[in-house]
Amino acid sequence: MRTGLIAKKLGMSSMFTEQGVRVSLTFLQLEDLQVVGQKTLERNGYNAIVLGSTFAKNSKVSKSMKKVFADSEVEPRRCLKEFRVSEANMLEIGTKLKASHFQAGQYVDISGLSIGKGFAGVMKRHNFGGLEATHGVSISHRSHGSTGQCQDPGKVFKGKKMAGHLGNVNVTIQNLQVIEVNLEKEIIMVSGSVPGSKGRYVFIKDAVKKVANA
């Protein structure tokens, strides 16, 4: 098990393959990625490394975090993420990571915070069909309809699909293929879409359901 990467979502585009198939692309860029901390089996009970991305001003860092960065002798970072690794893949503090960590053709899993959409109805949140346009239905065409039963059991079961908060949750998209890696600009291009809006940080790891470089 090796470490993942922190990247910033730049946006999306598309390309056509030699067979004429259109493929959606998402551009992810690495910014000043460096190992800023370690977790060891003896001290913490597991092996992991802490990565930091994008330099941060000292005025934007809390006093406790300033001490953490000072003890590690690295510059403050804006985004931190811990990745569990095997003992053989532990990296020293201060090690810089590049886009070459992943190769074209490899499959990855990407996690991030999805775009928040606020309070949403069941048609938008759960893809309900809504009620009929006539036959006695008035005003409530986009409602969810009945949610319960008769006298027995006479309650709404937990987990019932209803209107509520949509988005702004951690989402992982699995088995996205790395299409190209630009070493000069530290950009990784993957097929498909990833969670979050432009400028958000996402976390890239080796796919757990596919063999590397398969």
Q: What is the pLDDT of residues 39-87, one digit of tens each?
A: 889 888 999 999 999 988 888 888 888 888 888 888 889 999 999 998 8
Token pair for residue 181? 């890696």
pLDDT at 94 over 70: yes
CATH number of this structure's domain 5-58+71-116+168-206: 2.40.30.10
Predicted confidence (pLDDT) per residue in 156-209, tens digit: 999 999 999 999 999 999 999 999 999 999 999 999 999 999 999 999 999 998
Asked if the bond preceding 153 is cis, omega within 30° of 0, the reply is yes
Predicted local distance difference test score (pLDDT) of residue 61: 87
Q: What is the DSSP letter of 149?
A: -
Predicted local distance difference test score (pLDDT) of residue 214: 44
3-state DSSP assignment of residue 196 = coil
String of DSSP letters for 40-109: -HHHHSS-EEEEEEEE--GGGS-HHHHHHHHHHT---EEEEEEEE--GGG---TT-B--GGGS-TT-EEE
| In the chain, % of residues over pLDDT 90 | 68
> What are the structural domain ranges in the chain?
5-58+71-116+168-206, 119-166
String of DSSP letters for 94-148: T-B--GGGS-TT-EEEEEEEPPP-EEE-HHHHS------SSTT--S-TTS----S
Residue type, 13: S
Over residues 116-131, mean pLDDT: 95
Burial degree of 13 (CB within 10 A; 0-12, 13-18, 19+): exposed
3-state DSSP assignment of residue 18 = coil
Query: How high does pLDDT run on average in the chain?
Result: 91
Cβ atoms of residues 209 and 172 within 8 Å: no
pLDDT band with cut points at 50, 70 and 90 for residue 212: low
Cβ contacts of 173 within 8 Å, gap of 6 or more: 109, 110, 111, 192, 193, 194, 195
Over residues 139-146, mean pLDDT: 92
pLDDT at 211 over 80: no
Give the chain's length.
214
